[in-house]
Amino acid sequence: MRGACHPLPLPGTLSPPPESSRAPQGRGVLRDQPPTKPRGKRFRERGGTGAQTGGPGAAPPARTPTPTHPQKTPRSPKIAYHFDFAHTDLTRCRFALSPLWETQEAVRTLHRPARHGRHLPWLRRIRADVEQLDLRPLWLLMPERGYTPTFLGPPPLGPDVPFSEEIAALRATDPRSARVELAQALACTPGAADSPTGRALLTQPAQAVRDLADLLEAVWHLLIEPYWPRLRTLLEADILFHTRRLAQGGLEALFSELHPRLTWAPPTLTLTTRAGWEERRPLDGQGLVLVPSLFCWPDLVSGMEAPWQPALVYPARGIGSLWTPETTADHVAPTPLARLLGRNRATVLHTLTEPASTSALALRLGLAPSSVSDHLSALRDAGLLVSRRYGHQVLYERTPLGIALASGTGS
């Protein structure tokens, strides 16, 4: 789906659409962001109410009109959204990655100046590519607060579903259900449904699904796919961290690390929000999908639209290093280690400070994947690494012996 070219403004020049004038009734993707504190003019009283100054015969101070102070907007009360767990839900909680989710969330990030600061290197690199895309139809469906159509970023069906399968599922969306979701999203932005783009989306929902899928696929290939190995590495590392927390301290330890607005009081997970309403949702044996995201940072997003499994998208760890350029010096193994194992093999062991796949390491080190695979196999056979399968990928991690050898602290 191509349209007129719209250059990507510099960070801080994009304006988000107006806030929702109608809250969704507990369906679909719920976005929770604290309302912005009103910024009114500051007034300074002149002359005061006491005696005039200047002595006898002095001209009285000029009268200053009493300013009309803007009425303070009361803060929205903290409202809670409750996920009630049954015994069967506890065994059906899982982590998953979604390249489609990151793609549509990257589109949202382009239209949210508050998010630009953490993605400046990426924004500079993609500027020319963004000029090829007309992202306004997607932006119109992404209100600052409120409902976003679930079919644009449904919870992933498996732990490691490729983008090709996710976009194929999007294309298969029933136009009738798509129209319902489109209308609900457009209602969150005053005037959106009556705009030319809004009317086109509502009158031709089948065409809208095709066009939106084409647009998201173009965004994936131009803006996300070239950087997906790096994104994926951080997302997988986040999942590994939280699964360890789950193993060490149970659900309480897990949820306490995901986001400060989450609290776990068995059998209920509570999300504190300022969305303006309160709701309780029994999971009814479906469990909960936990999806880390780098582009949603720092937001927490919940989705509960049937027939999808309830999901919680949370900001992944490690965003501070997401776009940090890595230098060759970062991967140079110590000389004694290189003498013992050989330069490249020592570099592979030295670089594995966090679990990574063969392709991620090859990209990071600038080596052929086949060469990295051989080194990983040799290090694993020597007891310096362990491997664990996650979906379609195998992640390698240093053993205590590998850690000691790489750091030079072995006894």
Give the domains, in start order, of the chain with CATH numbers. Answer: 84-320 (no CATH), 328-407 (1.10.10.10)
Tokens standing for 147? 């409902």
pLDDT in tens, the chain (411 residues): 333 333 333 333 333 333 333 333 333 454 544 433 333 322 222 233 333 333 334 444 444 444 444 444 444 455 788 899 999 998 899 999 999 999 999 999 999 998 888 898 899 999 999 999 999 999 999 998 788 998 998 888 777 889 999 999 999 999 999 999 999 999 999 999 999 999 999 999 999 999 999 999 999 999 999 999 889 888 988 898 898 888 888 888 898 888 888 999 999 999 887 655 678 889 989 999 999 999 998 888 887 777 678 899 999 987 777 886 554 445 677 788 888 899 899 999 988 877 788 888 887 888 888 999 999 999 999 999 988 776 567 888 888 788 878 876 544
DSSP 92-159: S-EE-B-HHHHHHHHHHHHT-HHHHGGGHHHHHHHHHHHTT---HHHHHT--SSSEE-GGGSPPPSST
Which helix (H) or strand (E) segment is 282 a member of? strand 279-282
Instruction: Please give the full DSSP string across 40-53, using - where no structure is assigned.
Output: PPP----S-SS--S
Q: Residue 129 to residues 100, 117, 123, 145, 168: CA-CA distances in angstroms? A: 18, 19, 10, 27, 23
Predicted confidence at residue 360, as pLDDT, reads 81
- Give me the residues paired with residue 147 across strands: 30
**Which single residue is written with the structure tokens 């949202």?**
108
Backbone angles phi, psi at 342, to 5 degrees: 100, 150
* pLDDT at 91 (0 to 100): 87
Q: What is the pTM of this model?
A: 0.67
Identity of residue 147 = Y
| Biggest distance spanned by C-alpha atoms of the chain | 100
Q: What pLDDT score was predicted for residue 77?
A: 52
